[in-house]
Structure 1
């Protein structure tokens, strides 16, 4: 049984050289996906990691346990599409029982969710983030590379029925693509008890740089007026979104603005890719390789020390505006 000091790494919290507390870990369990979203990866790309290069479930559990010992209590399982990973329910169950992990969520495109939702809830998953960029079937097919509309909508409702709530709907807002649908999407989410999160497209990899960037300032003002929104009085999760709520308490809408109003000064997260690479920033190449250490038999104390060393590499801010072509990897390779 872990004592309180052991559960928190026995010492100071995990903090980078700029004084930011790191308390959020995003864990990719696969770089594979059954969709080809325009802003995520090019349609021609097939350069996936080989399964032998992936962290095993036990290795994933060891890394997350180490972060939890260091005070990281929020964990989100990502991909690619995490529901394509074999025995995803077992991975969820192993992480849900780790001391110190108090918020376990999963990001998904929902195409596989109807057959997984109930089992994920039973395994200990708390909530879902679901990507949905359009309510128009033709736009979905164009954006995602195939008509997945029915599967996605069924998956969303299966997640709701299973009690994996609150469900956050992530919509990447793109000029001349789905900009005209934003109010419709907001109404859909408010009517169904979902939290809409609007996201500015980021120039990550070739696909991200080709996305039609739309700043959210004007969008926010329109939604404030249309739905009578006011700033949320409380935090809704540990991520970068800034939330507004309806005055009647019906629901919330979040805005994630990495380009127009970056939130680097309060960044509290790092990403573990499926191959064991720890990425310290979406908009920089700072990284630390954990897989060689794990497979060389590193002990828990040394693993904790390695993670502290890695956090020292976290840069002060991204450079999406100054150097938009710097990041060559794709979002599906990094982890959401």
Structure 2
């Protein structure tokens, strides 16, 4: 059984051809899509986090709202940029949202992606220390987050508190047991995947890798997953991690599907430059369901992962995106043994 979820960037555009024209539209439709995805049998609703952009930015109110409208589906992020985060506030917000969801959060975090503004994290009062890069700062924030999510006390109590304290050092509240094991790192390279395993985080790998060895994208990503699992075993964490990959998958089962995505049947991997280095981008899968079954059966990374996140074109509206998710769950997944 492979878990199947969707990943939305939450784009909104004040244009007559967009069905998502405002920030309110993006937020409300994200909740509605989570509800619809649960109804059609999907396993997860994940949301991308971008600052200074007409996309989703503050994840925890959205996750809490989706939790109130759903009962089974996992709710997550893919990914939160840790350069921008105060790890203690993050832990409090995440703990509250996780408790409201009944322990359904799966939080993807990372160093972040190319930004809309220059050094945007500095506007949030996060500045790298002397000799530290922004990536180093993100990992420092992450280390502190993982530490406080363990739930151990670390703060000395006031001898004259406003309210009675439990004995010993105090921890952050609310604390959600189990959330520490539901933190994922968005890794864009093989070396970062090894680091992720060493830190005891689940692996989240997208349709982009920040390296290129000349082999097809899915094979390079499968190597990344293999190295992650090997490093995890060597670290001896004592529990089984999860691995997700993201794919753009569009079953062509209607004339509307063909109008939107018919040209994507010729999609191939792409190689380009990203932040000064070569990167490889995975192809889009589009075609009749039986053809998609053949293609996805040959995707080594999809086979190696336990979770598949479907990137959705959210500006086409809730109904159409629910149709895409339902088509994959109903017409593709069973033939691959995922259902």
Normalised-by-shorter TM-score class: 0.3 to 0.5
Greater helix proportion: 2
Q: TM-score, normalised by structure 1?
A: 0.46
Normalised by the length of structure 2, the TM-score is 0.46
Q: Kindly name which structure, 1 or 2, has the bigger radius of gyration based on alpha carbons.
A: 2
